[in-house]
Homo-oligomer: A and B are copies of this chain.
Amino acid sequence: MTSLVQHITIDCANAYELAGFWSQVTGQPISEHDFPGDPEALVALPNGTGLLFIQVPEAKSVKNRVHLDLRPDITRDAEVERLLGIGATLVSDMRRPDGKGWVVLADPEGNEFCVERSAAERAEQG
């Protein structure tokens, strides 16, 4: 007997709006069953799990203890620029001179996440 991860659930102030940001991050649509103003919104991922945004009354107060690490399909640096352009903010730049390392960004509601190197970059740089 075991369990699968069905959803990664993210508390937020505006479910549909934050789902819209993550829809752009992942390239996956918001569920057609969800609409602006709904207290929940789902972005299903190709691997069978989903990002589920749920409206809660309380605001974010501390650094999230659970966060997502992202693997871009092209390059880390281009993806960081793209995400900054769609509403992410820079938290911490952990890139190193040898090309390794990562960047910590926050989504429009302040949830921290990391942008790692792409698979091609890891293969090339080790």
Contact = CB atoms under 8 A, between A and B. Distances in A.
B72 A9 contact: no
- How many identical subunits does the complex contain? 2
Given A3-B70, A4-B71, A70-B3, A10 B79 contact: no
Interface of A: 1-11, 25-27, 45, 47-49, 51-52, 60-62, 64-74, 78-79, 82, 111, 114-116
A65 B73 contact: no
Given A1-B72, A111-B65, A8 B6 contact: no
Contacts of A6: 69-71, 116
Contacts of A78: 1
Nearest to A74: B1
